[in-house]
A = this chain, B = another copy of it.
């Protein structure tokens, strides 16, 4: 059992709580028994720390003291399970992609990843958004994150260099009613913006079509809900 807070594996894993180290190392932490088991199934896990007497096939498990666990953990209540996992991403883009321009709330990002998985958007591309590998993002994604191709790109350059996609922006009132949009193209990219500001104007100017979701006046939707509704429409119409 690892009891020393200065154990090198513990020190390394603790650093992964910071985005900087996740970026440098291409690794991240997964917390909670269910999520750790999902991550193991996905093949991304390198090793697991646990306060329990538990083993998994294929991955190394280190039993740790409660004190060590609480140093590793980002949650107030101990879940007893933390994995160090490898990021995976590929330049092979799926036919349907979700693009995020400055989504800041981890719960929104995680929910968007979960909905994207449900509706076959297997690639997500973001800029200026909260880190994909933030603990709350992973938790809200319910593990869908482990199976999604997650990329960070300069969105303006990406749009310019991927003319094979039709880019659909979102705007509260300008553009075409979602129900009237023709989604029959083979490669579809849905772009969602920041919770407060929406899409940057430079990006709105580059899209092929702006979509709005009809609703009662003076109201608005959470970006996760807007994204879920649009991806569902694309999914249903392309079956």
Using a CB–CB distance below 8 Å, which chain A residues touch chain B? Answer: 107, 111, 114-115, 117-120, 140, 142, 144, 179, 213-216, 219-222, 224-225, 228-229, 232, 235-236, 239
Contacts and interface: CB of A to CB of B under 8 A. Distances in A.
B236 A179 contact: yes
B215 A119 contact: yes
Given A215-B119, A216-B120, A239-B214, A114 B221 contact: yes
B118 A216 contact: yes
Judged by DSSP, the binding face of A is helix
A124 to B, nearest CB: 15
A221 B228 contact: yes
A118 B215 contact: yes
A140 B222 CA distance: 9
Nearest to A122: B216
B232 A111 contact: no
Given A214-B235, A228-B225, A228-B228, A219 B140 contact: no
